[in-house]
A and B are shown apart, each in its own frame.
Chain A
């Protein structure tokens, strides 16, 4: 019997528990088993396998800059049509790097697990993360695991932090939109948020709709290659398309006018939002980017984006204007114009 086992105060039902126990976060034998039986074999990689307290990474090439970002992921349900919390956690951070023009390089992963989480669920999530990392070409180099009492968490929370390399000459900024620029979105709006809603307890409705969760690194690089003057890119996650355009109009001291008829929506999303009394331009996306490009490049970029599998439904949805600074407006199908307000809290379904 090892010293670690001797000090263990956690009552362990058997040697191979089928769910997460508090002991898995103790730093003792169970933690070590979790690392050696799940994280290391699935994630792989030399840097992680060293099991140091830190990853040591090569310095970036001269002339390039580092991009560094972090994000935490809580989603219910943890498995949903089109993805799971693991894929979401990798894509979320990768996309924040990608829309800054960075090539994603390294990822850290921190798990907060709730006591009782099935080991099979954890394994499935970890495998999904690995598959997504391979798709992107990003490496998980360090990580952490904590366990909280049953009832004190919601199955699993994941925080990922990413480092990417921004090639010389790439300078994207939310402050740089200019009047006349066009707003491009890489595909249909609201798919992720509505897909998640459709699986929530008490809200279930039948739909084939899938979350759009996907990495955007190569789509972002394609846009930069096609249009070196691209002003900025953003992924419209929480707060949706409206949230990004409000940030843009404030930061660049311009206004944005959307054209309602050009907004790409799936019929399922429109139908669900009409039924629930929600507006899809506030709904989260996890595999779409918005690019602000000079008017002269807009059609060319659109054609290029549409040639990519993740950009087939791309559209030019609006333009940047000088007047009414800080505002987002929308021209309706019947020719009237109104302001798109910023959301105060969560969208709540309307009664009728």
Chain B
């Protein structure tokens, strides 16, 4: 299939893997930022093709994983209300809060619906004027433009029964937090291709310079990932630290100006809590004053809900790249996708869930080398 098969070609993959091996003279630790990249790496076994010196650690870029427990509890409180139609992306449905998940709320009579586009939720608000339609607006910069568009259109069409429960997070502050962490091991980044499609990579240039780390904007197919790794290793070997963009078939330096303007109109930067990590200053979006009437958190008065995370799981360490899922004693035992203990097991894009989905737990048990 066009635009797919050419980026999954086995021969080209082996050539890139050989080039990475040739380029590597010392051990390097790279982080892929995005959950979609983690998913592809594990699905295609990209790490099996790498020389032993090149270690991939999995970053915090899974929006479902890092949505704080507290926000889930707020979402669930709203979804339980009889006057509400609660709309969400599919993979938020199974994420447990303190007391069950959205699928359970649905089985108990809550009107919970999966939508593919926030605009579908906005249209539900028009169709059911006597209901309050709430969209769970999560995600990184990638989903922000569509979420912003839904709010903007609802506002224009005076749909006062449409609300967004906003839990947006941003990549650059998370990278900064990782690099500032005293026990940071990450030496180079595979930058988030889809995030950069929206916002560009200008913002990443000062980061590369300030912390002297190479950042390579990377896509999601096997050849994209291998090329990203190769360019990152080459920079590390020669000691440069710039932002490179081999994913130029999708990403431009300035991003998508129309999408950025939309985000700027609807959202403003604020402090955000990250599940497993804690609060990171200026690391998220909330609605601007102009659109505050559509803010579900304010309308439903769920601000007072405060929840403390479980201290058992090591997802915070995994999200910072300090530990691997298989380092956790609970991995695949007490903690599985059916009963996740923490951030990185809750979504299929989380590092622990990806490891579990592609059998790393079983591989571990029967002694196949990781």
Contact = CB atoms under 8 A, between A and B. Distances in A.
A324 B366 contact: yes
Interface stretch (A29-37, A107-115, A342-350): A342-350
A338 B1 contact: no
A320 to B, nearest CB: 18
Contacts of A338: 42-43, 45, 358-359
A102 B175 CA distance: 62
B4 A270 contact: yes
Interface of A: 202-203, 261, 267, 270-271, 274, 276-277, 324, 327, 329, 332-341, 344-345, 348-352
A345 B336 CA distance: 13
Interface stretch (B76-84, B87-95, B177-185, B275-283): B87-95
Interface string B138-169: 11001100000000000000000000000000
B48 A333 contact: no
Contacts of B349: 350-352
A50 B19 CA distance: 78
B142 A352 contact: yes
A332 B221 CA distance: 13
Contact of A339 (B35, B113, B359): B359
26 contacts: A202-B120, A267-B1, A327-B362, A329-B359, A332-B43, A332-B45, A333-B8, A333-B222, A334-B8, A334-B44, A334-B49, A334-B222, A336-B49, A337-B45, A338-B42, A338-B359, A339-B362, A348-B91, A348-B114, A351-B63, A351-B64, A351-B143, A351-B349, A352-B35, A352-B139, A352-B142
Interface residues of B, number: 48
Contacts of B58: none
Contacts of A349: 89-91, 114, 116
Given A267-B1, A345-B94, A203 B116 contact: yes
B272 interface: no
Interface in B76-130: 89-94, 113-116, 120
Contact of B363 (A270, A271, A332, A339): A339
A264 to B, nearest CB: 13
Q: Top 3 nearest A-B pairs by Cβ distance? A: A339-B359, A336-B45, A349-B90
Given A277-B91, A324-B366, A333-B9, 8 more contacts: A202-B114, A261-B10, A327-B362, A334-B10, A338-B45, A348-B90, A350-B39, A350-B90
